[in-house]
Amino acid sequence: MKALKDQIKKMVNSEKINNRTNIDNNDVREKIKKLIKKKNFNLRDLSRNIKKNDAYLQQYLYRGTPRILPEEYRLMLAEILDVNANELMPNWLKDLSSQEQFFVLSNIENKVNNINQISFSKELLIGLDFFNKKNLFFFQTVASGGHIITIVDISEKKFTKPDIYLLKDKKNYFLAIIESSKFSQEKLSVKPYFNKFSPFQISSDLLNISGKILWQCSNIFSK
């Protein structure tokens, strides 16, 4: 009998939690609707501005899909609507996030209409030196099927060992695998991350290294 009562109690508590999260999620949707109406934004254009398909925000706001707005798009939407990103976060998620340690990195490119900050859980990034956070930035590039997110240490501007580095050609950043050349002790072999760029050999003094990649994750967000 006690086991049955405990099971019923758990089911009731679970239902209360689900009801609360649904209310919080709906509150955020209503807040976004009001902001969009106030600022006279078009849902289709707004969806495009956060790099999603034309119907994305229509489905999120009026059909509940996705249930929660992913953080990448929440941050982009908050920037466009000119509000604090936390205002677009449901209370239950705020409570959950407060129990976990996060830190925020800035985009090394700082491009207009591009996400300029992103938060990471310290539990996800065990082993990184957070005391030198001023040297850490993130770089995001689009690959087939999703995105590649990297954390870059800009204090590492010289080749030290074979690894992935962030390079800069004029004003464009790109990822590349760098190792010592097999043909010359004075040169480095550079293989850009994407096949559309050809590998090349270059003197280490002429290579413009912007930073070393400390952490990388691919396809973290779906299109």
pLDDT tens-digit profile of 99-157? 456 677 888 987 555 567 777 766 666 666 655 778 889 898 877 666 788 899 999 99
Does residue 157 form part of some domain? yes
Tell me the pLDDT tens digit for each residue of 188-200.
Answer: 999 998 767 789 9
Total domains in the fold of the chain: 2
Residue 95 shares a structural domain with residue 6: yes
**CA dihedral for 125, 128, 132, 137, sign (positive or negative):** negative
- The pLDDT of 152-166, averaged and rounded, is 92
State which residues form the domain around 155. Answer: 127-218
Interatomic CA distance for residues 221 and 50, integer angstroms: 13
Residues 171 and 84 in one domain: no
Residues 12 and 87 reside in one and the same domain? yes
- What is the structure's pLDDT at 17? 42
In a domain, 118, yes or no: no
**For the domain that residue 30 is a member of, what is the CATH number?**
1.10.260.40
Contact 168, 103 (CB under 8 A): no
Tell me, yes or no, whether 83 and 26 share the same domain: yes
User: Is the Cα torsion angle 14, 17, 21, 26 positive or negative in sign?
Assistant: positive
Supply the pTM of this predicted model: 0.54
Question: 49-106, pLDDT tens digit by residue?
Answer: 888 899 999 998 998 888 888 877 888 888 888 888 778 887 766 665 554 566 778 8
Q: Residue 79: its pLDDT value, please?
A: 85
- Rounded to 5 degrees, φ, ψ at 105 are -115, 150
Are residues 7 and 77 located together in one domain of the fold?
A: yes
